[in-house]
A and B are shown apart, each in its own frame.
Chain A
């Protein structure tokens, strides 16, 4: 009946002292060094790393894997989806073309990204025996769970550990002796389609996250966090940190002047153009449509989202960032639209196609997890709704949608969400022994909304 104490993580290194200017690179380097030290030389069986959005989690995983391999300690890597596995293998092979990496895959047709076939040192197979002796073997938790009767690896890296369910960890934990667990506690929690209440409060509740169970049974494991978001601009990090990571604050790796968004074409005075100007100037924009109860695929809101994207492209947006000396055009592939529901995403895609826009990523929060863009346009999960539900209030959903961008985020929403939140009944049942998760979705929503309202452009389409 023990839970992870969020306060414990707050006391770890990486926090700048108040009397010196914040040096993000140094802070991140200190954190990384400590993590690698504990991973390679520590006595504990596990090391936990919390990574806020865009804090270099993948870079850390690649680096830790390479250092373990270089030290002659072969390892297995567990990720949660095939896309994550393919991405990691690609990054590993790109970082070190000579590194022998195995991609363990399913026996389905098209089981992995063909990009991997372009790496000479990457071997792919559905059988673990084919990959024996390789320095690093990467697969999904689901696939690893079917591997039996092998000598355990001395090391493992478990990626996206907060999105992994406790029972999935139970199925694979026998494969390794010790592991580095990396993940983002602010994103969407794992869930179950059937009731799991009877185990609520148990340390090994199978429907809880893998990290919750791990820390409940091993409370003294070293816990680190990456203190700097390299993705989120200085305009976004404070809000996302305050609203979604109240106990583990982080900062932006870039200053207010280092990222800039501007347009080649001046505003035509329309709502979409004004909100784009606001977002370019401040990093955030709220395009507020008149209050109305609407179905999920609110045609006006969907059209407004599409219009914002269209204007963003038409006005020749260019972005300045630390990545390049020259301003870079914000092309369609650097733009994403985020929604709560699939039918909303489908409606936005259709609307974009109707405006002749292609190449923009349009997806739900679940499927935008882990991804990064220059500009995001978000259809607010509560826009036009008659009520807030647990699904729409889930902290992780809003956190994912509000933390995918490097430059600016435009939120499209009907007026009236603050009232909707206030009228939300608060009669949640309480399970004994379950650690209360903070922040609460209701409060986080209020925090984000309060901030967005300072960047509001009201528009009647």
Chain B
């Protein structure tokens, strides 16, 4: 799982199907394809190219520009970095474990050096439900005071200081995953960050500066990440600090919950597997769709339309949810006033089959539905002419 996938867990934490498939590392895209309900996802190569070229442009000068942006946004009165003052340690190593170890070493050295450093595409790991996930932030900056800032470079624009809130939110959740992984590295380097929970940490830099001045340099991950985007309609970078304490709290909690995957798996029928039985060239699944569907259906989903943009399996779950007549297929919000009525049929039956005298049934949801149906019918009957859909 990458950071984006980990962050996406928060999109629907109540979905056991997703938790299990993600926790087990199943390729949901391939599974959806094999089930005959592929996701409408995809990335345009134009967007991909632009993302890469913007990142390259931002980092082109060895990080000086990034550190300048970060320093400007901090507004903490500290000295700006001089020319050539940003170290850019080499992080080359073989394999994810090797790169993770190399990153940890580079972070330690940069922290002890007490100067600005830019780690370009470091690698950090996070324990996800018992196995290691390797994550690669765009960059991490080490401050002279020994604190670290996650840098997230995105190619959507900041126009007049604001950006698409949904995209910023997604970037914040993704960065929170990196921040969490870095906190583990920091705790191994320096003394552990006892305020890691964030609720008593006002995200201020002043407190840190004081501590740093007193004792030996200690590693600390800042809970504000730097989001770097193109400015207005240009290709020049601009940046804003984004407070990710809330996203951190959520991510921590989601990761804790992921350990429950074993419980979910234990409840599955013996021998349940999501193996697609690919042909030898690894291209064509040979497992019968019916069998695969049964395996997927063995674990409950909590489908809602929001899934369509965050989960590869959503199109399949939508079909199943609609077939079962679940009210959530019309949106999470519709459930609020329906009480114990969970299917479209149940709702329509309750609404239409009222006693003639309109006496209360004792279930406020049913009473309100009958009232709604009566009012709706009355208004539609009073239409001046038969209009609407032909």
Contacts and interface: CB of A to CB of B under 8 A. Distances in A.
Do the two chains belong together in a single complex?
yes
Interface of A: 1, 5-7, 10, 197-198, 200-201, 246-247, 292-299, 347, 384-387, 389, 422-433, 435-436, 438-440, 442-443
Contacts of B245: 436, 438
B168 A432 contact: yes
Contact of B339 (A6, A294, A423): A294
Nearest to B240: A432
A285 to B, nearest CB: 25
Interface stretch (B186-194, B199-207, B276-284): B199-207
B362 A299 contact: yes
Contacts of B12: 425
B240 A431 contact: no
Contact of A200 (B162, B171, B339): B162
Report the contact-size class of chain B (Cβ under 8 Å from the partner): 35 or more
B161 A439 contact: no
A299 B10 CA distance: 33
Contacts of B211: none
A117 B185 CA distance: 70
B13 A423 contact: yes
A295 B339 contact: yes
Contact of A426 (B163, B250, B336): B250
Interface stretch (B47-55, B140-148, B363-371): B363-371
Interface in B294-324: 302, 306, 310
B339 A201 contact: no
22 contacts: A10-B202, A198-B162, A200-B165, A201-B162, A246-B199, A246-B200, A293-B335, A293-B340, A294-B365, A295-B338, A295-B365, A347-B364, A389-B336, A422-B13, A426-B246, A427-B10, A427-B306, A427-B310, A430-B168, A432-B168, A432-B242, A436-B246
Contacts of B171: 430
Contacts of A387: 332, 335-336
B169 A428 contact: yes
B166 interface: yes
- Output the residue of A197, A292, A422, A426 with the most chain B CB within 10 A: A426
Contacts, number: 118
Contact of B364 (A299, A426, A440): A299
A430 B165 contact: yes
Contact of B242 (A5, A6, A384, A430): A430
B122 to A, nearest CB: 24
Top 9 A-B pairs, shortest CB-CB distance: A423-B14, A429-B165, A7-B202, A295-B339, A386-B335, A295-B365, A426-B10, A426-B250, A430-B169
B347 to A, nearest CB: 12
B172 interface: yes
B2 interface: no
Contacts of A433: 161-162, 240
Contacts of A6: 202
Interface string B157-176: 01001110110111111000
Interface string B3-26: 000000011111000000000000
B125 interface: no
A200 B336 CA distance: 29
Contacts of B306: 425, 427
B27 interface: no
A454 to B, nearest CB: 20
Contacts of B129: none
A385 B249 CA distance: 23
Given A6-B202, A246-B200, A295-B365, A429 B168 contact: yes
A426 B332 CA distance: 14
Contacts of A432: 158, 161-163, 168, 227, 240, 242
B203 to A, nearest CB: 8
Contacts of B163: 432
A450 to B, nearest CB: 13
Contacts of B14: 422-423, 425
Contacts of B340: 292-294
A373 B247 CA distance: 37
Contacts of B68: none
A207 B14 CA distance: 33
A247 B161 CA distance: 28
A298 B363 CA distance: 8
- Output the residue of A197, A246, A295 with the most chain B CB within 10 A: A295
B165 A438 contact: no
B49 to A, nearest CB: 25
B262 to A, nearest CB: 17
B372 to A, nearest CB: 12
Contacts of B365: 294-295
Contacts of B10: 425-427
B57 interface: no
Contacts of B250: 426, 442
Contacts of B246: 426, 428, 436, 440
Interface in B323-356: 332-333, 335-340, 342
